[in-house]
Amino acid sequence: MVMYHRLIAAALSAVPLFAAAEGSSSGLLRGVKKERVLQTGDAADGALAEFYNGIADGGEVKTDLDALKNSAAFPGSPTSTSMLTDLLEIPQDAGHDYGTRITTFIKPKVTGMYTFWVASDDYGEVYLSTDETPENKKLIASVNGWTYSRQWKKNEATQRSGPIPLVKDTPYYFEGLHKEGSGGD
């Protein structure tokens, strides 16, 4: 994602992350809607997307995120990287047996309570730090399986974070992980 994962607020193989300021008509970080998909403009200077191809286990496809996290290539040797400069979302149908990590810093334009969502195919996780330090990141939303692109409510209990207080102009480290197995996206 998601990633994400737009998730990073982000996308992970169609893993957009969605966030909204609770009780605010001004929207997430800067926006017209109360709820919307995060854009890279909400982050510092875009988001780094790292792609890890050939993530399988013993020749068999393994779709859970442990296959990515336990890969010898992760996190220091991605197959390729790109900067996300529009939405925090990676393309759908980008291949099979790969993982994605999306990282950025979120800087809210408004102090308030924020809720994050993630959608991914297959597995996805979204992390947010209590500050700009990656070591302080906490899992805030996840997909254990798959969703359609931008399908926010397939399993709302895990796809949606609880309300998270964020302070205006404060950078928060954001990370989205995504693992695609095989099949359609």
Please state the pTM of the whole predicted model.
0.75
| CATH domain 17-180 topology | Jelly Rolls (2.60.120)
The answer to whether 126 and 2 have CB atoms below 8 angstroms apart is yes
Instruction: Please give the Cα distance from 33 to 75 (Å, whole number).
Output: 35
* Residue 3, CA distances (Å) to 22, 24, 48, 112 in order: 22, 25, 10, 23
* Residue 157, CA distances (Å) to 10, 32, 88, 119, 144 in order: 18, 26, 22, 12, 11
Question: What 3-state DSSP class applies to 68?
Answer: helix
Instruction: Please give the Cα distance from 28 to 167 (Å, whole number).
Output: 12
Instruction: Please give the Cα distance from 34 to 184 (Å, whole number).
Output: 31
Retrieve residue 54's tokens.
Answer: 């050939």
107-160 tens-digit pLDDT: 888 888 888 888 877 788 999 999 999 999 999 988 877 776 766 677 777 788
pLDDT at position 61 is: 57
pLDDT at position 83 is: 82
Any alpha helices (H) in 60-164, and if so which ranges?
Answer: 65-69, 156-159
37-70 tens-digit pLDDT: 454 444 456 788 888 888 875 556 565 788 888 8
Domain boundaries, the chain: 17-180
Q: Which segments of the chain are extended strands (E)?
A: 17-21, 35-37, 47-53, 80-84, 98-106, 112-118, 123-129, 137-143, 164-166, 172-180
